[in-house]
């Protein structure tokens, strides 16, 4: 009843091509953004910004990046965390070695570096597919980690290999409080998500989907496979690179290769699978699920059973419950949380009538 598009006429091409053609969707998104930008800074505290929202946003961005590659272009990748590491270290080195480097430019350049590395490691995708490609991208994960630990130049000859991120300043304003860092992260993630949402509706995005669905057919109708696949690798790695730089600068404040190990790659891949392949909103759902549910379970279990049950035991139970939840969601909806969201919306269009 509320969610119905009756009476919303599209009388111009512009209206027909909007990102969210339905008025209610536009309002919801606008409300969410307004809430995140204007209300949240007053509601949240250090804990919410520094431990929940910032990592959630950054991992959403990373999942978005991988979703472009895996969900839209159909290329399975296990090297996501490696590309994040490239971004983080590139940003560090740009800031370190070029005097007066504005950090936003450093982030952008670090994304480009990650994109370049992504193209190189995307080359095997022209020959190998599916699980074989996953194994090939796994190599990139190990190779990047190895390079960053092996050559001390990348860490500016730091003995421990862990380096502290530089200060972020823009026109004399230092981003040093959790709130300002949150707003910075949110702005970057919003812009990039908007860009991705538009990108997948352009010719490039449609090329990706054609390649994903059947690459031989795509080639026959004249889509350049080489360009399309490498572009997917480049843009996906660009996103991951920015996410890595944000992880180092706005979240942890340190740059170390161990933050971007194989487990992180898996985590991002699971976000994409659980959130929903080939959807933008799915990246956010997936990140929310993977990041927030374990913390929530931890809070819940210590709140409910704290003191009564041994915390070590509880920690294992939490993992058990989390695993069960993943299986549950995948059985109920193999296409991910985004699909559930979509089904919900379709049901709402009819509600309260049965059909």
Which residues lie near other proteins (CB under 8 A)?
A: 46-47, 50-52, 55, 146, 149-150, 159-162, 164, 166-167, 251-254, 256, 258-259, 261, 295-296, 298-300, 302-304, 306, 310-312, 314-316, 318-319
Least distance in angstroms from the C-beta of 11 to other proteins: 43
Report, in this order, helix, strand and coil percent for the chain, each rounded to 5.
75, 5, 20
CB of 267 to other proteins, least distance (A): 10
Q: Which CB sits closer to other proteins, 20 or 47? A: 47
CB nearer to other proteins: give 36 or 51.
51
Between 30 and 299, name the residue whose CB sits nearer to other proteins. 299
- Token look-up 């706005």 returns 250
**100: helix, strand or coil:** coil
Q: In this complex, which beta carbon is closest to other proteins, that of residue 162 or of residue 199?
A: 162
Q: Give me the sign of the Cα torsion angle 182, 187, 193, 194.
A: positive
Closest CA to 295 of 321, 272, 275: 321
Pairing of strands 173-174, 254-255: unpaired
**How deeply is 162 buried, as exposed, middle or buried, from its count of CB atoms within 10 A (0-12, 13-18, 19+)?**
middle
Provide the b/e sequence for 290-326 (b: ≥16 CB within 10 Å): bbebeeebeeebeeeeeeeeeeeebeeebeeebeeeb
Nearer to other proteins, 58 or 210 (CB): 58
Non-local CB neighbours of 198 within 8 Å, separated by 6+ positions: 19
Question: Where would I find the beta strands (DSSP E) of the chain?
Answer: 163-164, 169-170, 173-174, 254-255
CB of 314 to other proteins, least distance (A): 8
Q: How far is the CB of 234 from other proteins (least distance, A)?
A: 27
Nearer to other proteins, 66 or 231 (CB): 66
CB of 81 to other proteins, least distance (A): 12
CB of residue 50 vs other proteins: minimum separation in angstroms?
Answer: 5
CB of 330 to other proteins, least distance (A): 19
Number of Cβ within a 10 Å radius of residue 174? 10
> Judged by CB, which is closer to other proteins: 54, or 133?
54
Shortest approach of other proteins to residue 149 CB, angstroms?
5
Residue of 111, 38, 57 lying closest to 250 (CA atoms): 57
List of residues 6+ apart from 204 with CB closer than 8 A: 228, 231
Judged by beta carbon, residue 219 or residue 261, the one nearer other proteins is 261
Distance of CA 9 to the CA centre of its chain: 34
Output the smallest distance, CB 319 to other proteins, in A: 7
- Judged by beta carbon, residue 115 or residue 163, the one nearer other proteins is 163
Q: In angstroms, how far is the first alpha carbon of the chain from the final one?
A: 12
């Amino acid at each position: 009843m509320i969610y119905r598009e009756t009476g919303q006429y599209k009388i111009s091409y512009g209206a027909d091509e909007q990102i969210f053609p339905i008025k209610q969707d536009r309002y919801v998104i606008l409300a969410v953004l307004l809430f995140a930008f204007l209300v949240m800074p007053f509601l949240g505290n250090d804990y919410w910004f520094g431990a929940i929202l910032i990592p959630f946003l950054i991992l959403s961005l990373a999942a978005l990046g991988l979703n472009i590659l895996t969900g839209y272009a159909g290329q399975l990748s296990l090297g996501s965390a490696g590309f994040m590491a490239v971004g983080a270290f590139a940003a560090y080195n740009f800031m370190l070695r070029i005097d007066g480097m504005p950090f936003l430019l450093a982030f952008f350049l670090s994304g480009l570096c990650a994109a370049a590395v992504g193209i190189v490691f995307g080359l095997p995708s022209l020959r190998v597919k599916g699980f074989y490609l996953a194994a090939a991208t796994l190599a990139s994960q190990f190779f990047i980690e190895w390079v960053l630990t092996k050559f001390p130049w990348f860490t500016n000859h730091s003995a421990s290999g862990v380096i502290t991120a530089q200060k972020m300043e823009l026109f004399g304003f230092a981003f040093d409080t959790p709130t300002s860092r949150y707003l910075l992260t949110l702005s970057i993630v919003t812009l990039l998500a908007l860009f991705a949402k538009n990108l997948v509706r352009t010719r490039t995005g449609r090329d990706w989907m054609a390649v994903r669905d059947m690459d031989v057919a795509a080639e026959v109708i004249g889509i350049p496979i080489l360009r399309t696949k490498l572009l997917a690798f480049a843009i996906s790695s660009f996103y991951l690179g920015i996410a890595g730089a944000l992880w180092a600068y706005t979240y942890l404040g340190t740059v170390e290769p161990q933050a971007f190990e194989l487990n992180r790659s898996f985590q991002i891949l699971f976000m994409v699978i659980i959130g929903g392949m080939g959807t933008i909103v799915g990246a956010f759902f997936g990140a929310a699920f993977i990041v927030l549910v374990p913390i929530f379970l931890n809070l819940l279990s210590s709140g409910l059973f704290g003191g009564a049950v041994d915390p070590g035991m509880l920690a294992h139970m939490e993992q058990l419950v989390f695993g069960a939840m993943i299986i549950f969601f995948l059985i109920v909806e193999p296409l991910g949380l985004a699909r559930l969201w979509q089904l919900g919306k379709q049901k709402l269009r009819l509600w309260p009538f049965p059909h």
